[in-house]
Amino acid sequence: MEHVLVTGGAGFIGRYICQELLRRGKKVRVLDSLIEQVHGSAGRPEALAPEVELIRADIRNGAAVEKALVGIDSIIHLAAEVGVGQSMYEVERYTSVNEVGTAVLFEKLIDHPVRRVVTASSMSIYGEGLYRDQQGNLLQEVARSGVRDGLRQWNPVDAEGNPLIPLPTPEWKRPSLASIYALGKYAQERVTHIMTEPYGMEGVTLRLFNVYGPGQALSNPYTGVLAIFASRLLNGQRPMIFEDGAQRRDFVHVRDVARAFADALDLPAAAGGTFNIGSGHDRSISEVATALAAAMGRNDLEAEIVGRARIGDIRHCFCDTSQAMERLGFAAQEDFHAGLAELAEWVACQEAEDRVAEARAELETRGLVA
C-alpha cells in the first residue's frame, strides 16, 4: 500500500484529495498548520477523513517535515498561503510560507527521497491569459495600462486601441507574474522540477484555475470568488464585483481537481509535466454571481459592480485543457450548475462572517484599489 503525504491537506482542496486517495486504496498522512484565517479556532477539521493521520505543524519546521516524511512513498504538496490581494501587503508571510516552506520540504527530501511529488500551482502565474489581435497574431504578454490613473477601459487593446480577443490559455504561454502570490506559486513549480530529477524523484505541477465546491472557507475574504460571493449572500449582502463584471474565468469543481491530483500521482505520462486543470469553459464573473444568487434563492441581491480595479488583477484568463486531456486523460466531469446547487445547499447550513468590506478597505488603505 502506497503511503502519501499531503502537505496542506486539511484545507478545502486537500480534504477532497485525501478522500480520493483513500478511495484508491492509499494510506494518507497530512501535514498542516491549521491557520486561523482558513480553519478558524477549531482543531482537526470534521471534514478531514478519520482515516487520515494528521501532523499539525508548519511546512517551514524542518524537524516536523522530516518526521512527516518517515515511511512516505509520494507527496502532494499543497501547503501555501493563498490570496492574490493579501499577498501584495503580507509579502514576508507569503514569501516565507510558499517559497521557504517549499525549500524546506525539498531539502528534507534530499535524504528522504520519494517516488513522485505533485505540487499545486495556480493560473495566477500567467497574469493575463493568451490573446489574439485583429490580424490574427497571438499575444503572450498583454498588460492593461492606466487603470491606476483612472482609466476605465478594462479590456486590453492593441497600440491602435483595437480590442484584443481572449483565448484559452495553454501551458506554453510565458508566465507574467503580477502578484507576490503568483511569484511564489511559480517558485514552487520551478523548485519541484529542479529538485526532483537529480535526486531520483519525479515531479509534476498542476496549475489550478478557479476551484469551487462545498467546504470552502466562507469567512476568509481572500479565498475563491464563489466562496466570497456565497458568504455575502448568506449574510444578506450583495456580491461585490470589481471592474465591470465582464472579466472571464474558468471554474472547476473540487472533485474534478481531486481526481486530477490522484491521477497525476500515479500515471507514468504525468512525470516531469506541468498541466492546466480547469473545466475548459469560461464564464463572466457577473454571470457566475447571478447564477449563485439564483441557486441560493437570493435573486433579490443583485451584484454590486464596484467599477474599480485591484492592482495586480487581470482581465481574462481561462483554461486550455488539451494537454491534460492528451497526457493525463483528464476532463472535468462535474456540471457547473449542479455544482452551484450543491454549493448552495451546503452554504445554507453554514455560518459565515462577512469580512469582504474589511478586506476591501485594507486594500484601499494601501493604495491597491484604483
Q: Residue 224 has what pLDDT?
A: 74
Q: Name 163's Cβ contacts closer than 8 Å, sequence gap at least 6.
A: 155, 156, 157
- Residue 28 pLDDT exceeds 60: yes
CB atoms within 10 A of CB 32: 26
186 catalytic? Reply is no
Q: Residue 357 has what pLDDT?
A: 62
Which band of pLDDT confidence, cut at 50, 70 and 90, is reported for residue 265?
very high
- Residue 232 pLDDT exceeds 50: yes
**Weakest mean pLDDT among 30-39, 43-52, 104-113, 129-138:** 30-39
- Residue 125 pLDDT exceeds 90: yes
Q: Residue 159 has what pLDDT?
A: 83
In the chain, the amino acid numbered 114 is: V
Q: Residue 148 has what pLDDT?
A: 45
- Residue 150 pLDDT exceeds 60: no
Domains and CATH numbers, the chain: 3-365 (3.40.50.720)
Which band of pLDDT confidence, cut at 50, 70 and 90, is reported for residue 26?
very high
- Residue 328 pLDDT exceeds 60: yes
Nearest of 220, 170, 112 to residue 326 by alpha carbon? 170
Q: Residue 364 has what pLDDT?
A: 60
Q: Which of these is catalytic: 16, 131, 181, 212?
A: 181
More confident residue, 117 or 350: 117
Which band of pLDDT confidence, cut at 50, 70 and 90, is reported for residue 3?
very high
- Residue 354 pLDDT exceeds 50: yes
- Residue 212 pLDDT exceeds 50: yes
